[in-house]
Amino acid sequence: METNRPARILLAEDDESVAQMLCDRFESDGYAVEVTPSGARLLELLEQREYQLLVFDPDLPKVSGFDLLFQLRARGSRLPVLILTGGRVEDRVESLDAGADDCVAKPFSLDELSARVRALLRRSGAGATTVLRVADLELDRLDRKARRAGRVISLTSKEFAVLECLMCHAGEPVDRAAIFEHGWGPQPKTMTNLVDVYINYLRRKVDFEPQARLIHTVRGIGYRVVSAAEGSPVGRPPSDAATLSHSS
């Protein structure tokens, strides 16, 4: 059983609305994100913690982003760096010459940005740490693909998020509130049955062989993913009673 942590991204952006938009996208893609608006703080965080990717706008207040990048490379760091540049060719050339691994010109497509992040993480080898496995079930958080016994499983974005939450805590009970927050954000005051509905969707797709069921109910708590060899946790049997129009 393998329970790997998500790739960690450090995002340096002083525009609060842009930073929030990028943070939301990266987190929805399955990454752990830390945000800072300060160039000086960026260097402090890089000294204190380990990241798999640095994404930043070089137009940071008080400190030149390019100077920061030169300092980073002068220290011997090989951390992949993606720079958010202006639209001019000169900006992209300066970014690459300063030591960036890739750059995206503003305004950019979030889908393209996500694809470039995945490519950088694959090249750096970080992709290997983002594949979750339980028994013969595999979830690749970079390529956003799921397989069981070699068979590709088509999942909606919400199904993927629910399964990812369970597999990040493989073998452990995960309560409904935590699953809901991972897939939809902060839980509303009135608890919905969305988690139960999506668990049923996943069971139909993932547990296509009942004798090798991986998704189990934990009575009074929520759900957990555990290999069939380890046995089913105590709880009620799976139910397909919950129904809702299937949308992501």
Domain 8-127 in CATH 1.10.8.60? The answer is no
For tokens 């009970």, the residue is: 173
Question: Can you give the pLDDT at residue 5?
Answer: 61
Contact residues for 95 (Cβ-Cβ < 8 A; gap 6+): 58, 66, 83, 85, 103
CATH architecture under which domain 135-230 falls: Orthogonal Bundle (1.10)
- The amino acid present at 51, given as its one-letter code, is Y
| Structure token digits, residue 15 | 């525009």
In whole angstroms, give the CA distance from residue 64 to residue 57. Answer: 10
For tokens 């690459």, the residue is: 96
* Region 142-168 average pLDDT: 88
In whole angstroms, give the CA distance from residue 8 to residue 49. Answer: 10
Question: Can you give the pLDDT at residue 197?
Answer: 94
DSSP code at position 52: S
State the pLDDT confidence band at 88, using cuts at 50, 70 and 90. Answer: confident
Question: Can you give the pLDDT at residue 228?
Answer: 64
Does the pLDDT of residue 55 top 70, yes or no? yes
pLDDT tens, position by position, 15-30: 888 899 998 888 878 7
pLDDT tens, position by position, 57-80: 888 777 777 788 888 888 778 889
* Residue in 35, 88, 98, 97 with CA at minimum distance from that of residue 64: 98
High-pLDDT (> 70) share of the chain, %: 83
> Where in the chain are the domains?
8-127, 135-230
Question: Can you give the pLDDT at residue 242?
Answer: 36
* Region 147-161 average pLDDT: 91
